Amino acid sequence: MAGLLAAGPAASQVAKPKQPNVLFILADNLGYGELGVYGGGALRGAPTPRIDKLASEGLRLTNMNMEPQCTPSRSAMLTGRHAIRSGTYAVPFGGVAEGLTQWEVTLAESLSEAGYATALYGKWHLGSHDGRLPNDQGFDEWYGIPRTTNEAMWHDTPGYSPEHMRPEYILEGRKGGKSREVKVYDMEQRRLLDAEVTRRSIDFMERQARAGKPFFAFASLTQPHLPTVPHPAFAGKTGNGDWADMLAEMDHNVGQMLDAVERLRIRDNTVVIFVSDNGAEFIKPWEGWAGPWRGAYFTAWEGGIRVPFMIRWPGRVPAARVSDEIVHGVDLFTTLAGFAHAKVPHDRPIDGVDQAGFFLGKTDKSAREGILIWVDNRLQAVKWRNYKVHFYQQDTMTSPAERLPIPHVFNLYENPREDEGKRAYTSWVLGPMLKMVNAFNASVKKYPLIPMGTPDPYQPPGLP
């Protein structure tokens, strides 16, 4: 970890404000339309009262944007940098050095340096070998899977043998040591993992509350990523199938963590965030629902990038507030570091902007007007205010991405489904959009992108 800039005056000059705890709950492939407060819930076979109540207790966003895949979105949230910069712009499929280089500074590293206890439980997907696991990237402890949930299905595939492809293991590790293999991640463990994530997250919060130490608890749930199956205790609970049972379980697990915050009497000094890593699941028969938006993950359609988001901080984030202002996942690093009086890197481009003023209700406006949208290593689209331009046509994750001879412009207020037959012929909006693109390209000339598969140790070109 290198290149950190102090967030404010030295401690000797001013009294340091109390640092809030952070409970960060991340769902995996939860579409915009799944939760009750976003138009789903009972319409999807299972009400979500606990998550809906959480949304009413703080700020709920209707224009929260993520990268369109699991690995890029996690990279962006934890580094404050678009994944294209870090060589993490696509889900890795082996054969290269996976995940974040150790040169990257994660939110966990920043908060740890600021005195936080840090833990991640659940899915990581930013490196699957020692040196690139959570306990190597700022987390004091972790338990979960290094890659992805669909690998649990390997064991039931005809002809599969560990001799041909080593299975994924649930791992456990602590900072300063190597991670150990706990058990094979199969379909039995797939059903059990989120309950264990919840249990361990609560235990971690209890330990830190007793110690009086601020904490960053990252509860990285594996649901509803395929295969979408519930815990045995929830199987058949709704009578509406596995998807609804899973949704009921997720709501229960979130409720358990919120109850722990209440029980520990740390509610007023705990920032709680609930968000999805990208848009809806696409693979049948587990496909999710993006609500009013077109598309699913792995695409630049709104259904691939627009996700549920809510943040609660009693007395600081005004309750019962809903906003359609544009926010991006990269902003969470910068904003949470500010809340924690932590440090952010100054020796590299940081794409996240500090949304504290907006989140805390000091302004009705987001600190950004637009976002750049990559799919793999292609700049596929740009959003600015209520307009969006696509440079490529790609309908689904299995469709080829075809460069458009003329960019397609949409007014998302008039055409939220991004219907090609209702394109907006207002080319003036390309001006501010291309200004954003040009600014990014200029930064790349000064700070080259890290190629995917770059091994450690990494140092940017031109630095000693």
The catalytic residues are 70, 125
User: At which residue do the structure tokens 């790609």 appear?
Assistant: 394
Q: Hey, what are 82's tokens?
A: 């678009």
Q: In sequence order, which residues have a C-beta less than 8 Å from that of residue 89 and are 6 or more positions away?
A: 67, 72, 83, 374, 376, 377, 452
Cα gap 455→96, rounded to integer Å: 8
Residues written for the chain: 464
Partner residues linked to 120 by β-bridges: 142, 218
Q: Which residue has the tokens 């966990």?
A: 108
Residue 363: how many other CB atoms lie within 10 Å: 13
Spell out the residues 6+ positions from residue 210 whose beta carbon is closer than 8 angstroms to its own. none
DSSP 387-444: EEEEEEE--STTS--EEEEEEEEEETTT-TT--GGG----GGGHHHHHHHHHHHHHHH
C-alpha 440/C-alpha 437 separation (Å) is: 5
